[in-house]
Chain A
Amino acid sequence: MWLKDSSIGRKLIMSISGIALILFLLFHGTMNVVAIISPDGYNMICEFLGANWYALVGTIGLAVLVIVHILYAFYLTLLNYRARGFERYAVTKKQAAVEWSSKNMLVLGIIVLLGIGLHLYNFWYKMQWVELRHMMGADVDVSKATDGIGYISELFANPVYSLIYLVWLCALWFHLTHGFWSALHTIGWNNDIWMKRLRVISYILATLIVLMFAAVVIFYYGSSLACGIAA
């Protein structure tokens, strides 16, 4: 199967799963921004994307994408490590034209993955998962699943969580600045003229996505401070 056995095939998998994840992030980010604009609206979305069949299918699809993306990342890195040979260079220097992120996608990816783990525990485990169990008859507290806003403001009032989330988003930003144009490049949608444009678009897109997420963190951490002072 050429998607597994050829280098370009493997890269295509990375590329397509990556782009899909970026689309998801865009969607997720847009949703988050709602939390700032209209807390009620956000809670409506939380309810809407609860334990419904379409949300579940989406979640499973998303999980598959993430797993494929991660598995291929490790597989590719292993192959690439082998291709480099046993001896390593004693002196290496970075070329000016090479993005730092492009050479550290795996490390960035791992940080992002750890962040996802925490995030899943914080949110998915306590919201959709709880709701699922509830539906299956378990005796659990489903308040967080529907009152997203309440939960967010509670969580991000904690400065440690806020900081961890910000570091995570930082890694995500670097990951995306390279990831986006690289994905399109791998599909073949690039040429000399678009090379620069795509890189600029990558920066804009990564910044946009990260800002959407960070805004929520900062907003609720800020408001917790404000509330604290007010209290």
Chain B
Amino acid sequence: MAKKQNIIDEAKEAIQKAAETVTETVKDVVEDEKTQKIVKQVKQTAEKVADKVQEIIDAPETKEAADALKDAAGKVADAVKAAVSGKSEKIITPKDAKIPEGPLAEKWTNYKAHQKLVNPANKRRLDIIVVGTGLAGASAAASLAEMGFNVLNFCIQDSPRRAHSIAAQGGINAAKNYQNDGDSVYRLFYDTIKGGDYRAREANVYRLAEVSNNIIDQCVAQGVPFARDYGGLLDNRSFGGAQVSRTFYAKGQTGQQLLLGAYSALSRQIGKGTVKMYSRYEMLDVVVIEGRARGIIARNLVTGRIERFFGHAVVIGTGGYGNTFFLSTNAMASNGSVAMQIYRKGAYFANPAYAQIHPTCIPVHGDFQSKLTLMSESLRNDGRIWVPKKLEDAKALQAGKLKGRDIPEEDRDYYLERRYPAFGNLVPRDVASRAAKERCDAGYGVNSTGLAVFLDFSDAIKRLGKDVVAAKYGNLFQMYEKIVDENPYEDPMMIFPAIHYTMGGIWVDYELQTSIKGLFCIGEANFSDHGANRLGASALMQGLADGYFVLPYTIQNYLSDQITVPRMSTDLKEFADAEKAVEAKISKLMGIQGKRSVDSIHRELGLVMWDFVGMGRTAEGLKTALVKIKEIKKEFWSNVYIPGTAEGLNVELEKALRLADFIEIGELMARDALNREESCGGHFREEYQTPEGEALRQDDKFSYVSCWKYQGEDQEPELIKEPLDYEFVQRQTRNYKA
């Protein structure tokens, strides 16, 4: 009898435990439909167990009952397992991504024909928050305001014209075929897909190529002074990854001119009062009410005040996260914080590992260095890249005993022309960067650190004359001379790859909407169009395409059923909670009062990123990176020192808030890079390369977009896959040799 009682007690305990496990496991994910089904199933199983226990009390054969109990417990475990694994199997289908039906070339037309619109009277009643004033943000804010929406636009700089799009030098692609060299929308689409190493969404890229021509028309109408020929028509130049001349340019300042075009359109709307501009404001969180983005929390950087803003929809155009590496070609204030804020609120972060390393930057030269300077890709039109053939020449260059011009022609190794005869110096960026690294790793670097190759204009000067070269690249040469103190007309330039752009970013569907309703993401901040590698002169194209010609349409499809939603009060609990959380984070940071400056920790993070998550990645290195980043995170949250107070202007606090997010992005990048066991585009895993050292894709296993879903502080994020099925393009190994 006592034995029987024991069994009953044990059984009760087991049930209790099982119930606890189930509750705990499914606690965080109860909102999911599938999970709820499983929970129901588990509950039923538990009820069955209870029944069995009841039977035990009555039944004489306790052994049989005990077996039944075991069986039931097993079922509970299985159900829980199924609940968890069922979730990780989750994939995003083309339907989830809202990709329209029909042939590739008709998708966008079909979409526009059938999307829902908002009538003019209702537009005035809808508020849209646009964060960021780069090409994407400014063009979107201006276009939306022109349509009649009420726009609130935010930027962290003193003026919307400072956004880092301004620093783009080379140009913007469009399929105009003004040069009659066989260009077309399809060819631009194909080049972009191929350049991205078949890791981009077909429908998005085709749309991008389609609207590229409108962008050029729009910019010319705005007064962008593109380069012209003597006949008065627009001129073009060539860029990497293309065999046609489709790049429009304005000296070496194309980004500046395009941004100023968008800025002027934005200014016109600000002047009219349709856009309210908030400069020196930094977004610190998104406010989500009943599953929809309804506003933001932002800090006035001058007064230090935390303020709340409501919008029927929120558009994020805050650029990339290249500054995770500390040294990059990004501006000092460029950051990934907004991406992380919305990631933490449930937006998926897609392909974080895809970072572009630009082959032609001025090499690193000291510990004090704060950023890297880009030398436009357009230089590769006329410049030839080389290192010495002989190792002893390289040694002499490194020791400063020789100059580039002293090395005779026959002793120069034009390695890009040698390895890739068809594209030569104009191979895509990832290929050129890796080739430079390969030569430098082999000991052929040409400066004191051994981390530089030559970009030589002597041939071009001989062929075209110094004046023509100066007219084309004068401002870049001047910039080089000011920084390096050497005359590039006489000595070849020294260049080395540097982090430049991040193809990864917030996951968006065809409508540029994130996985949070009413929250849109445009420009470099989203993951969309460039796959694993971006072609030169395509970033400007994508930013403006999103802002001028895509978002203004697709956002209406969302807003059409929001017209009945009145403007909400920012006194709502959700706003108050979000603000409280932001304030808590700030006071936590201010309270650390440790010993290290923000920059010193950021530099440390940058080195780890460059060494282990940079140009050549290995499983082992990435695991090391994950450990080291954790240590840096601990160091940051326990030993950072921020002088001053949170009231008023405090640059160190701004930087600390951004670094807190960079650390987490770094971790996410390493995690994604570790997961992606293949080499593609900008992501190069050393374990996966051809015998010639080219990237080796694993299409059967990794032809998907990795979307990471936040699971809570210090929890591993969940991986959700969006398979990339190429319906219209034949996937090939990228070949720039012939």
Q: Is A–B contact present in the complex under a CB 8 A cutoff?
A: no
Where the two chains meet, the residues of B that have a C-beta atom closer than 8 Å to any C-beta of A are none
